[in-house]
Amino acid sequence: MHTRIANTPEGRIPCPGPDPRPGRPHAAKRKGEFLRALPGILAVVLLFSARAFAVDIERDPINYSQAKDANVITRLEEKILAGTVVLQHDEQFGYLPALLKALGVSTSSQTLVFSKTSLQLDRIGPRTPRAIYFNDDVFVGYCHRSEMLEITAADPKLGAVFYALDQDTRDKPKFRRQTNRCLLCHASSSSMGMPGNVLTSVYPESDGQPNRSMDFFRVDHSTPFQRRWGGWYVSGTTGGQVHLGNMIVKGMRVPDEKELAATSNLVNLEDRFRPKIHLTPHSDVVALMVMEHQAEMHNRLTRANFSVREILFGQPAGNTAAPDKGRSAETERRIRDACEPAVRYLLFSGEIPLTDPVKGTTPFAREFAARGPRDSKGRSLREFDLERRLFKYPCSYMIYSEMFDTLPEAALECIYRRLWDILHAKSGEAAFEHLSESDRQAIIGILRETKPTLPAYWK
């Protein structure tokens, strides 16, 4: 199916339309295919409108679509305009290699999704999967022969902000911010009504269409392995932990464990798709696990950010800083409720334990862990375990992120206080029983030496 480019208020976007080339499917047929796919896409990522949630992101104090964005993409664009950064155009991949280098994104982070569950569905399928590359602050999506790159940046004030970068050659390529059409799916119940990214697992058919009569699953670190990665390629070994990756379903029958085992420990994917259409032939299992943790962590930090800003909106300035400024008990309770999901996710509450070792097929794990920071004992929150759980020390590395550090002061104070109490076993809550005494002491020690913005009582 061909994609034409339409001019819209948000710039040039791909959409089904007339194809000038002879022998191509008629536009009406392609439109029917698009409409047939659309319910499946929406079933995967759109359960409710964002309006069903308490925070209206288009009103004060958020004003998502109208507010000025400020993140890694806007900073890169300033450098491009100033001439201090030049994005070289590659004959095959366009701006992708240069963009990844400029953003500090390793090609080892590449993951591949072949289900038709995103904007450029006509370009995605088992033989032509979509590639996603990421680091702590940005996700970059690339489709073979697409006219644009899709980018999501973690914005400290706005959560996920979406951009398109046209792949045609120009002296100073420009990022176009996208709002309404992205928010349809990316500010739904799946991301708690906030602009964010959600990883889903589906039962894909032979053309990549999700089987809309079968279940789909949101994926994060609490998702059982046997529900993960449907519609994704997965390279690496997971032992007896079978998953839905690399699987094509036939009919309405859910694959049994024997069938899943046949596709769950693949280290070579070259017979599945054309490997030369992407920067690497891998879709590393460890990168997938980190990406799914990070996407949900972004969403929960955005929820804490927006909710606390709304709670404090309109209150006297003196009531927006710390508890001793006179906030009511009810306001304090609401702030704690808004921050609690982020606290639990930071400490990997609900993470599914590993029953067998996990090993990827790229240098991703080594490169990710090397980024630190490390304390005087050489410990880092980026160190992997991959035998019992994802990370050796169960506190998210996203605590170092710009998204975390720029949370409203009231939110930061609440989260730091909760972490302090939990790590000192003052709460006794079942949600944190997975933290051993050695885990708690290690996390405290690492944060004391590597997190300079900790409150004074931590030190």
pLDDT single digits (tens) 169-206:
888 899 999 876 555 554 455 555 677 788 999 999 99
Q: Please give the pLDDT value at position 117.
A: 84
- Identify which of 391, 385, 382, 403 has the alpha carbon closest to the alpha carbon of residue 450: 382
- Identify which of 104, 85, 87 has the alpha carbon closest to the alpha carbon of residue 96: 87
Residue found under tokens 């710039």: 11
Alpha carbon separation from 213 to 33, 199, 321, 412 (Å, rounded) = 17, 19, 50, 43
Would you place residue 45 in the very low, low, confident or very high pLDDT band (cuts 50, 70, 90)? very low
Q: Please give the pLDDT value at position 386.
A: 98
Q: Please give the pLDDT value at position 178.
A: 86
Domain residues of the chain, as ranges? Answer: 4-277, 295-458
Q: Is 159 exposed, middle or buried (0-12, 13-18, 19+ CB in 10 A)?
A: buried
Q: Are 138 and 284 in contact (CB under 8 A)?
A: no
- Name the phi and psi angles at 239, rounded to 5: 65, -135
Chain centroid offset of residue 37 CA: 23
Q: Give 183 or 92, the one with higher predicted confidence.
A: 92
Q: Which alpha helices (DSSP H) does 139-284 contain, by range?
A: 180-186, 257-263
CA angle, 367 then 341 then 190, to 5°: 80
Q: Please give the pLDDT value at position 432.
A: 96
Residue found under tokens 């070289």: 88
- Identify which of 144, 148, 157 has the alpha carbon closest to the alpha carbon of residue 8: 148
pLDDT at 394 over 80: yes
Q: What single-letter DSSP state applies at residue 353?
A: P
- In sequence order, the β-bridge partners of residue 354 are none
pLDDT tens digits, 252-303: 889 999 999 999 999 999 999 989 999 999 999 999 999 999 999 999 999 9
Return the SS3 of 254. coil
Residue found under tokens 């050659």: 169
Q: Are 243 and 96 in contact (CB under 8 A)?
A: no
Return the SS3 of 102. helix
Q: Please give the pLDDT value at position 55.
A: 76
- Could you give the maximum distance between any two Cα atoms of the chain, in Å? 72
Alpha carbon separation from 96 to 108, 131, 211 (Å, rounded) = 14, 11, 31
Lowest-confidence range among 48-52, 321-325, 398-402? 48-52
pLDDT at 19 over 80: no
CA dist., res. 372 & res. 384, Å (int):
12
Would you place residue 28 in the very low, low, confident or very high pLDDT band (cuts 50, 70, 90)? very low
Strands 159-166 vs 148-155: parallel, antiparallel or unpaired: antiparallel
In the predicted model, what is the mean pLDDT of residues 94-114?
98
Q: Give 38 or 355, the one with higher predicted confidence.
A: 355
CA angle, 269 then 185 then 109, to 5°: 30
